[in-house]
Structure 1
Amino acid sequence: MKKVIPIIFLFLFFAGNLFVLANAKPKKRIKAMAYNVHHCNPPTAGELIDVGAIARVINDHKPDFVALQEIDVNTIRSGKGRNQAQELAQLTGMFYFFSKAIDHQGGDYGVAVLSRYPIIDSMRIALPILPDQPEELRAVAAITVALSKKRNFVFASTHLGLREPNRLIQVDKIIANLTTLDTPTVIAGDFNAYPESPVIAKMDQYFTRSCTVNCQYTIPVINPKSTIDYIFYKSAKPIKVRSHQVIDEQYASDHLPVFAEFEITL
């Protein structure tokens, strides 16, 4: 009998582990980037448009999704007939979706997303401004992709206004459109708001930031002193942040790109 007890114990131990493994839920790791690209015009390069510089930053870090802000399509300053979102997609081997915010110099100007996954749905969300707070209109570019046969994923890019009253109602519009989705969702971009602002406090009620403590600054690119670029997420299924960093890239844009890796339960 003395030898039977250890054998039974070992059987129960291995059976228990096999049960846990058999019932473990599959997970998917994704990498996301938020990047205000200054219409692909390096601030120290005069009027030069250098789409390749932005593409190199993306290719160096290999994100699965990129939220782009300040994208030109067919504008005079960036070149008639040039679609920066499309060019970046071609240079990085990714899919893209562009969401126009305003007319600009004979073309369009707005935000975009890049995705390594085929886009199965897309949505443009026009963001409001108050009548007594006139400024440039803003937008959201949101896409849906399939992470697996059973799990879709929403990724969105935005660039909020310069005036806080407008930013607050713009966040309300984002919350109304993206928090009702029963799928993992990430929204990233330039929120033009500091971490302690009412705008970010409102976002924090419905989403979670990829970094909340000891986070690196995102502007200016040399000796950065402030954070206004973020990656937010929410999900009915668990999402874990595996890493967060601000990339020290000082040439390509006037903002530093933000990069985070997530683990999503499928």
Structure 2
Amino acid sequence: MSQSLRPKNALPWALLLLALLTACPQAENYADETGPRYSGDHRAPGPVATEKPSSVSVVTFNLSFAEQVTEAITALTRPPLAGADVILMQEMDATSVDRIARELGLAYVYYPGSVAVDGDDFGNAVLSRWPITADWKINLPHDDPYRQQHRIAVAATLDIQGAPVQVVSVHNATPIVGLGARLDQAESIIDALEGTGPLRVIAGDFNTSDPGSLKQTVKLFSERGFQWASEGVGDTVDSVIGGLPLDSVFVQGLSPVERGVDTRPAGSDHHPVWVRFAWP
């Protein structure tokens, strides 16, 4: 290309874009596998019910920086979410998790993965109507390339009438890391559950907004022996470009009998996804 035909402003604009990207403040991360860790048990005192449940219900909910906790509690105490056995939450801080668990009478475990731009911790939680007998943080590969924000999953073992059930609250990176990186994150979670038991639920915000990413994520889980339990529920996020199917539930060893998305206001841009499983 001759000098006269080269866009005169191309280099300055490229330099400006590079400066904007590299000027993003670096995230403060919690890379330690053991913490920070927060837990509590707000279940009513007394023996756990002796009869086996006929079904187990699971909700996954990204609460968007845990800013509207009151609205979230309202949503979680009305049908179809009311009485959920397990609630898997993302974008949470410790205070908000404890408040929700206290209001709903649940046990919980929470690990932050990083500090959000608003200065609060940013992580995942497992809340349960059943005893939590073990828990751990799963560090995920591929930090955000600009802020270096670290992503995690939080796994817990629940004791449901003597049967161990593994549940995982997931928050994969945004599409900026690329589909391959997010598939690596999903596979890291599956690998972390190998050998832990026959009943497993992996759910959360998989950030499957780019074309083809949901299909590839479902394919990966299917190849590793998981069923897409929330299949067909539709979009889970409202955005300026339309609805997006970001949140999913995958299962192994349990049969889904009902599923859906509660699209009423719940304090977040994400809508809670729920699945009811038959108890084997």
TM norm structure 1: 0.74
CA deviations on 1:90-109 (whole Å, 9 max, x unpaired) are 11111111121113455421
Unaligned regions of 5+ residues in structure 1, if any? 1-25, 42-49, 74-82
Does the 8 Å CA contact 1:240/1:263 hold for their aligned counterparts? yes
In the alignment, structure 1 residue 199 sits paired with structure 2 residue 217: yes
Q: What residue is the counterpart of 1:159 in the other structure?
A: 171
Does the 8 Å CA contact 2:93/2:112 hold for their aligned counterparts? no
Q: What residue is the counterpart of 1:128 in the other structure?
A: 141
- 1-side partners of 2:89 and 2:266: how far apart? 16
1:45-56 alignment, distance < 5 Å: 50-56=68-74
Give the SS at the match of 1:200: helix
In the alignment, structure 1 residue 102 sits paired with structure 2 residue 114: yes
Q: What residue is the counterpart of 1:145 in the other structure?
A: 158
CA deviations on 1:15-68 (whole Å, 9 max, x unpaired) are xxxxxxxxxxx7641000010101233xxxxxxxx3111111111122110110
1:51-130 alignment, distance < 5 Å: 51-60=69-78, 61=81, 62-73=83-94, 83-104=95-116, 107-129=120-142
Does the 8 Å CA contact 1:141/1:158 hold for their aligned counterparts? yes
CA deviations on 1:215-242 (whole Å, 9 max, x unpaired) are 321111799622110111112xxx2111
Does the 8 Å CA contact 2:166/2:197 hold for their aligned counterparts? no
Instruction: Give the drift of 1:143.
Output: 1.2
Q: 1:211 aligns with which of 190, 211, 230?
A: 230
Does the 8 Å CA contact 1:221/1:256 hold for their aligned counterparts? no
Aligned length: 218
Q: Using a 3 Å threshold, how does the CA distance of structure 1 residues 189 and 122 change in structure 2: closer, same or farther?
A: same
Give the SS at the match of 1:52: helix
Does the 8 Å CA contact 1:147/1:153 hold for their aligned counterparts? yes
AA of the residue aligned to 1:59: T
Does the 8 Å CA contact 2:144/2:150 hold for their aligned counterparts? no
Q: What residue is the counterpart of 1:180 in the other structure?
A: 195
In the alignment, structure 1 residue 263 sits paired with structure 2 residue 278: yes
Q: What residue is the counterpart of 1:21 in the other structure?
A: none
Q: What residue is the counterpart of 1:249 in the other structure?
A: 264
Does the 8 Å CA contact 2:86/2:128 hold for their aligned counterparts? yes
- 1-side partners of 2:257 and 2:243: how far apart? 25
Q: 1:190 aligns with which of 199, 202, 205?
A: 205
Instruction: Give the drift of 1:245.
Output: 0.5
Give the SS at the match of 1:38: coil
Higher Cα radius of gyration: 1
Query: Alignment RMSD, CA only?
Result: 2.4
Give the SS at the match of 2:191: helix
Does the 8 Å CA contact 2:143/2:151 hold for their aligned counterparts? no
Unaligned regions of 5+ residues in structure 2, if any? 1-51
Q: Using a 3 Å threshold, how does the CA distance of structure 1 residues 223 and 127 change in structure 2: closer, same or farther?
A: closer
AA of the residue aligned to 2:262: I
- 2-side partners of 1:131 and 1:245: how far apart? 31
Does the 8 Å CA contact 2:88/2:204 hold for their aligned counterparts? yes
Q: Using a 3 Å threshold, how does the CA distance of structure 1 residues 196 and 125 change in structure 2: closer, same or farther?
A: closer
Q: What residue is the counterpart of 1:6 in the other structure?
A: none
In the alignment, structure 1 residue 40 sits paired with structure 2 residue 53: no
Does the 8 Å CA contact 1:133/1:165 hold for their aligned counterparts? no
- 1-side partners of 2:85 and 2:241: how far apart? 28
Give the SS at the match of 1:136: coil
Q: What residue is the counterpart of 1:76 in the other structure?
A: none
Does the 8 Å CA contact 1:218/1:256 hold for their aligned counterparts? yes
% same residue: 23
AA of the residue aligned to 2:221: M
- 2-side partners of 1:188 and 1:252: how far apart? 19
- 2-side partners of 1:103 and 1:198: how far apart? 30
